[in-house]
């Protein structure tokens, strides 16, 4: 379906692909975090763990955007983008 000249199905697919890419990056960061933790590299381990959490928050925002597109509301979009 198109809304205001935008193919919303294609938009949902693109957002889903971005979410998948972030999921893979989040998995890698979790592995790096565990490796750093086992090597007693405390500061790098904490930083990588925090980055992983931020990716999780970004993924939740993307999932919210997809859910809001699925709702198909014709009113003003309530999805927002935040710098993480």
Taking only the tens place, the pLDDT of each residue in 24-64 is 999 999 999 999 999 999 999 999 999 999 999 999 999 99
DSSP H stretches of helix in 8-78? 8-38, 42-71
- Count, residues in the chain: 84
Between CA 34 and CA 77 the distance in angstroms is 39
User: What residues contact residue 2 under an 8 Å CB cut-off, 6+ apart?
Assistant: 8
Q: pTM, whole model, 2 decimals? A: 0.75
């Amino acid at each position: 379906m198109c809304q205001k000249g935008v193919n919303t199905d294609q938009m949902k697919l693109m957002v889903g692909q971005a979410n998948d890419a972030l999921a893979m990056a989040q998995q890698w960061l979790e592995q790096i975090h565990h490796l750093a933790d086992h090597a007693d590299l405390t500061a790098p381990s904490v930083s990588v763990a925090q980055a992983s959490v931020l990716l999780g928050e970004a993924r939740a925002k993307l999932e919210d955007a997809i859910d809001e597109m699925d709702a198909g509301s014709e009113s003003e979009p309530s999805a927002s983008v935040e710098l993480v």
